[in-house]
Amino acid sequence: MIKKYLLYLLTPSVLLSTFFTSCEKVFEPDNYVAYFGGEIINPQSTFVLFMKDGKVLDTLFLDKKNRFYKKFDSLTPGLYTFKCEPEYQYIYFEKNDSLMIRLNAFDFDNSLAFCGRGEEKNNFLIDLYLRNDRDKDKLFEAIDYNLNDFEHLIDSSYSSKKAFYLKRRAQIGWGSGFDSIAKASLDFNHYMKKEIYPFAHQFKTGEQVYEKLPENYYNYRKSLYYNNKNLTNFSPFIKYISALLSNITYSKNGGKFNENSLENNILKLNIADTLVKDHQIKNVILNNIAYMYLLEDQNMYNNKKFIDRYLELSTDKEQQKEVREISEAVQKLIIGKRLPDVHLVDQQNRTVPVEELTQNKETVIFFWTTNAESHLKSSHGKIAELKKRFPAVNFVAININDSEENWKKALKNFQLDQINEYKSTDFSDIKKKWVITKVHRVIVLNSDGTIKNGFANLFDINFHKNLQ
């Protein structure tokens, strides 16, 4: 990531003076004042949410220049999240930090830069995130490798990032609180790859390797602590736990992998209950299991059995309510039912009723956003292929969360004029009613408008079978 420039134009001069002079000030032991501000280029909303452990602490509205500024009279040191719909990223505050951000919402992570007291550790965190993110492209191919080649690849990547971590830790000299976050970002990304390999390798190649793994393959598990409150909602940790549960379930089933079965997902709930003692962390993991399962299995009987067990283990009343709502919404999207009504518009800003989407043809509805440009390109490319293969099928694209201006600009820039392109005017509404939690989700409708498959994946190798 190219490291950027001083953000001396972010705020009015009086605030700027206060901001930077505070970096030199010696604070009293009981003084926990902190500052947070910045500038959002091409914002997709008019505010920034400041959050802790999934809870909104403050809503920071953008001014006419798309800038915001907030003084916190007392802010507990630790990991926080700032969210500019629909993207989010982490920010770490030590005692009395004064942090400014600058980013372009069209290239959220790559453009993000921190400035001010506490900038170095936060710029390190986003740098490490981007290095981990670039690894994702290599992982899918590497899953096919034999064990020795796979381990060589991921160990080499890990060694390089660990050297970067050690160098920056020595240079910056951060405290133990931040180090637990930095180390987690480094380690859990690596451990997740090791957990994924056995079942993903078999899924892709047909070769079963879990019984052939060396005795020391999972040695790192012996030193892991699953009850660190600092990691409660930290994505690298939660993703690792998700991979761990899938791998343990896979092994307990003798190398048979069925991620969507009721029995396996109840087993995941039970393992999580045994593995994690901290109630807050356990609730996050249980919720993650529930969201993933309920979107894949629309069997009402199975859902009831799963939710009954989930409710026995979860202590988060708010999330229990949300899981129930998702389950109810999923039941409205089962085969044979009609899509709930949402507000859609065409390029002339005319309302398009949901019942008119099919045009009396079998219809594929897919979704996109300019915040996921690679998906925008790949999904339209895939649809172009399918359109040639299935000329009688009606294909409909729905932009889920861009402004009208950005949507139309994308339609022009990417020449998206081969199929019907519509836009949702209320992301929260369509997300809730159509349960859109994954951008690669596809809905297939019969010619009469009834649902044929409410939860298809456009990039599933067998997706074409939905159209036969």
53-80 residue pLDDT tens: 989 999 999 999 999 999 999 999 999 9
Is the pLDDT at 425 greater than 50? The verdict is yes
Q: Lowest-pLDDT range, 98-107, 153-162, 206-215, 293-302? A: 293-302
Using an 8 Å Cβ cutoff, are 288 and 242 in contact?
Answer: yes
Q: What is the pLDDT of residues 175-214, one digit of tens each?
A: 999 999 999 999 999 999 999 999 999 988 889 999 999 9
Cα–Cα dist 114/123, whole Å: 6
> Which residues have C-beta within 8 Å of that of residue 233, sequence separation ≥ 6?
53, 54, 81, 284
pLDDT confidence tier of residue 15, bands split at 50, 70 and 90: very low
Is the pLDDT at 294 greater than 90? The verdict is no
At what angle are helices 300-313 and 279-294 packed, to 10 degrees? 180
Using an 8 Å Cβ cutoff, are 26 and 58 in contact?
Answer: no
- Comparison of pLDDT for 254 and 407, the residue scoring more: 407
pLDDT of residue 298: 60
Sign of CA dihedral 14, 20, 21, 22: positive
What residue ranges in 369-424 does DSSP mark as E strands?
Answer: 394-399, 420-424
pLDDT of residue 16: 38
Q: Which two tokens stand for residue 282?
A: 């356990």
Cα–Cα dist 286/316, whole Å: 10
Beta pairing partners, 87: 84
Is the pLDDT at 22 greater than 50? The verdict is no
DSSP code for 25: P
Using an 8 Å Cβ cutoff, are 455 and 441 in contact?
Answer: yes
Order of strands, edge to edge, in the sheet holding 55-61? 55-61, 47-52, 78-84, 87-93
Using an 8 Å Cβ cutoff, are 424 and 318 in contact?
Answer: no
Query: How many percent of the chain have pLDDT more than 70?
Result: 93
DSSP code for 107: G
Helix (H, G, I), strand (E, B) or coil at 182: helix
Helix (H, G, I), strand (E, B) or coil at 205: helix
At what angle are helices 176-205 and 147-172 packed, to 10 degrees? 170
pLDDT of residue 20: 41
Whole-model pTM: value is 0.76
Residues comprising the chain, all counted: 468
